[in-house]
Amino acid sequence: MATDDFFRARLDGMVDPRHPLAVLGRRMPWAQIESSLAPLFARKARSGKLMADADLFGTTAFVAAAGISRAGRPRLPIRLMVSLLYLKHAFNESDESVVERWSENVVWQIFSGMDYYQSKLPCDATQIGRLRRVLGEAGVEQLLKTTIETAVAIQAIKKTEFERVIVDSTVQEKAIAHPVDSRLLEVAREKIVRVAQRLGIKLKQTYSKEGQVLRRRAGGYAHAKQFKRLKSVLRRQRTILGVLLREIERKMSELDDAAKTTLILWLERAKRIPARVKLPVASFMQPMAEYFGNARSR
């Protein structure tokens, strides 16, 4: 096989041409990808700074530091950086490990467009993170789309495989808050106050500052298992919610029918919460209550 370097063998002579990565590297539209990403990495033209220079003929104004600067290190090939980003996500590697494996894997190097084997790292690991920030989420999704379209074109994947997507969210973090009683009471107070103010009802007091203080106290008392203090906080929260509900019911007669319908819906929801909130019982009292309850049944 002809080679430009007599002392080194070409990678296409070391790798099986039927390897999936080698086939994908030959079929990927690299020219199209590079042309679409080149404007993002092009050097920007600077407007420069207007300065004055004095000589024998007087003061002359000129623009300094204008145009495109050629300073700095030349950029790496776009195909190399895009290939590293693809290999990182395809094989679930970190930025540091993907550059280390690249220097040891000839298949990865031929996928990246290299002609000869290179034992050194292709780039610094931090450059992959900078590339990801420049591309953004839309750019990464476009690269993934191009890869999938190429895989379908070479019949490595069938279109029917994309008709159903199975996502395992067992260990995925979910934005679901535990329905703590004190939190429910505080959320109900906030919602009722917000709806009333939006409909034009002027309240004597919203209890916003006291509600936040009570919410924090309830969390601390529950963590420390101080049930008597937690019980007093919940009782105060229920009292505040009841005061607001009664005041809104007295002043809702001034509203029109549409506003009344909206307000009644929120009032009904808020009234359910105090009825469902149970005041805490000390943990050391529960076994005694169960014992005496069982003794009475016997």
Residue 240 belongs to what H/E stretch? Answer: helix 227-251
Q: Where is mean pLDDT largest: 104-108, 139-143, 278-282, 285-289?
A: 104-108
What is the predicted pLDDT for the residue at 162?
66
- Taking only the tens place, the pLDDT of each residue in 154-202 is 776 677 766 676 666 666 666 665 567 888 889 889 999 998 888 888 8
Q: Is the pLDDT of residue 278 over 80?
A: no
Contact partners, residue 167, CB within 8 Å, separation at least 6: none
* Whole-number Å distance between alpha carbons of 185 and 195: 16
What mean pLDDT comes out for the span 141-154? Answer: 78
Record the tokens describing residue 124, joined without a space: 């610094």
- Please give the model's pTM, rounded to 2 decimal places: 0.49
Pick the closest to residue 122 from 177, 182, 75 (CA basis): 75
- Taking only the tens place, the pLDDT of each residue in 97-112 is 999 999 999 999 999 9
Handedness of CA 191, 192, 198, 203 (dihedral sign): negative
What is the predicted pLDDT for the residue at 97?
92
Q: Are 38 and 48 in contact (CB under 8 A)?
A: no
Q: Is the pLDDT of residue 284 over 70?
A: no
Positions of E strands within the chain: 49-55, 58-64
* Whole-number Å distance between alpha carbons of 263 and 46: 58
What is the predicted pLDDT for the residue at 167?
67
What mean pLDDT comes out for the span 36-46? Answer: 78
What mean pLDDT comes out for the span 273-295? Answer: 53
Q: Are 37 and 139 in contact (CB under 8 A)?
A: yes
Contact partners, residue 172, CB within 8 Å, separation at least 6: none
What mean pLDDT comes out for the span 250-278? Answer: 83
What mean pLDDT comes out for the span 33-46? Answer: 80
> Which amino acid type is present at position 159?
K
What is the predicted pLDDT for the residue at 287?
46
Q: Is 248 helix (H, G, I), strand (E, B) or coil?
A: helix
Q: Is the pLDDT of residue 118 over 50?
A: yes
* Whole-number Å distance between alpha carbons of 149 and 130: 26
Alpha-carbon distances of 62 from 1, 47, 54, 68, rounded to whole Å: 58, 12, 11, 17
Alpha-carbon distances of 200 from 63, 191, 216, 260, 290, rounded to whole Å: 60, 14, 30, 12, 51
Lowest mean pLDDT among 68-82, 115-129, 192-206: 68-82
> Which amino acid type is present at position 14?
M
Q: Is the pLDDT of residue 120 over 60?
A: yes
pLDDT, averaged across the chain: 80
Residue 262 belongs to what H/E stretch? Answer: helix 257-276
- Taking only the tens place, the pLDDT of each residue in 214-233 is 989 998 998 898 989 999 99
Lowest mean pLDDT among 25-39, 56-70, 261-275: 56-70
Beta bridge partners of 63: 50
| Percent of the chain predicted with pLDDT > 70 | 82
Q: Is the pLDDT of residue 296 over 60?
A: no
What mean pLDDT comes out for the span 255-281? Answer: 79
Lowest mean pLDDT among 1-10, 241-250, 287-296: 287-296
User: How far is C-alpha 169 from the chain's CA centre?
Assistant: 15
Most distant pair of Cα atoms in the chain: their distance: 118
Record the tokens describing residue 6, joined without a space: 């007599």
How is 53-112 classified by DSSP, letter by letter?
A: EEETTEEEEEEES-B----SPPPPPHHHHHHHHHHHHHTT--HHHHHHHHTT-HHHHHHT
Pick the closest to residue 119 from 137, 104, 139, 138 (CA basis): 104
What mean pLDDT comes out for the span 266-292? Answer: 62
What is the predicted pLDDT for the residue at 295?
46
